[in-house]
């Protein structure tokens, strides 16, 4: 690149690229962790439609990131409740099935090694006697 003091012919000056000028990824521009470019490429290869807008992969990446963060937060809480530091499939299962909206979204999903949510039908529990219920009402 010619220096600004060169006496040769040609264009001198103009816009000089600094070392900090790097191309920023679309994920960074959108403030996301999920890869926007990879999702765009996968949408194009999946033949979702002939044309895919530039905002579609950003929106999809944001939705996927939100859902995964929500599930991981609930699973982390379930792991902490069980005094564990690692999230295992059981914690994912408990997190998803105890949340009403996630359970509806992932109702047909089977999580391997997830087990079942503990539930005992109230009819099978021992019935309270009337004497105990009367004693509990007295103050």
Averaged pLDDT for residues 48-67: 95
Neighbours of 102 (CB within 10 A): 17
- Using a 10 angstrom Cβ sphere, with 0-12 exposed, 13-18 middle and 19 or more buried, the burial of residue 7 is exposed
Distance CA 130, CA 11 (A): 99
Q: Tell me the two tokens of residue 90.
A: 């059981």
pLDDT tens-place string over residues 12-54 = 666 666 666 789 999 999 999 999 999 999 999 999 899 999 9
Is pTM beyond 0.85? Reply is: no
Is it the case that residue 67 has pLDDT exceeding 80?
Answer: yes
């Amino acid at each position: 690149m010619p220096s600004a003091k060169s006496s040769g012919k040609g264009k001198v000056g103009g816009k000089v690229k600094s070392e900090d000028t790097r191309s920023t990824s679309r994920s960074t521009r959108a403030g996301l962790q999920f890869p926007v470019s990879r999702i765009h490429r996968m949408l194009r290869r999946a033949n979702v439609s002939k044309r895919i807008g530039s905002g579609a992969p950003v929106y999809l990446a944001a939705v996927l990131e939100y859902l995964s963060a929500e599930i991981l937060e609930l699973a982390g809480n379930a792991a902490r409740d069980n005094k564990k530091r690692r999230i295992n499939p059981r914690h994912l299962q408990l997190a998803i099935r105890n949340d009403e909206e996630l359970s509806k979204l992932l109702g047909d999903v089977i999580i391997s090694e997830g087990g079942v949510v503990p539930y005992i039908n109230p009819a099978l529990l021992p019935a309270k006697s009337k004497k105990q219920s009367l004693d509990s009402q007295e103050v």
